[in-house]
Amino acid sequence: MSPRLRRAPALARTLAGAAPLALLLAGGSAQASVNSYRFLHVTIDTPWHIFLFLLMGVFAPFILMVVLMWRNSIRKREIARAQEGAAPGEPPPS
């Protein structure tokens, strides 16, 4: 067995023992700041930020869909008018 593989369990035990020591040194303040309400930075502007995010992410594709449907309907209308004006034996213009 290689020396590197023999050292792996000892290294894992050392790292496992270091985790509780790091928590003791950090104290309870690190956990309290992560779990606190202030950590989220919720202000009166937060609903507006959510609305603007939804406006770009959800409503913009619907606006794009309407614009594309409108362009397609105009294109189909022009093709239909061109076919009406063409002679019966001619192929429609492309």
Look at the alpha carbons of 7, 8, 14, 18 in this order and tell me if their dihedral is positive or negative.
positive
Tally of residues, the chain: 94
Residues 9-38 pLDDT 10s: 665 565 556 666 565 566 555 555 556 666
pLDDT in tens, 30-66: 555 556 666 667 788 888 888 888 888 888 899 999 9
Residue 73 has pLDDT above 70, yes or no: yes
- The total of other beta-carbon atoms located within 10 Å of residue 79's CB is 13
DSSP 30: H
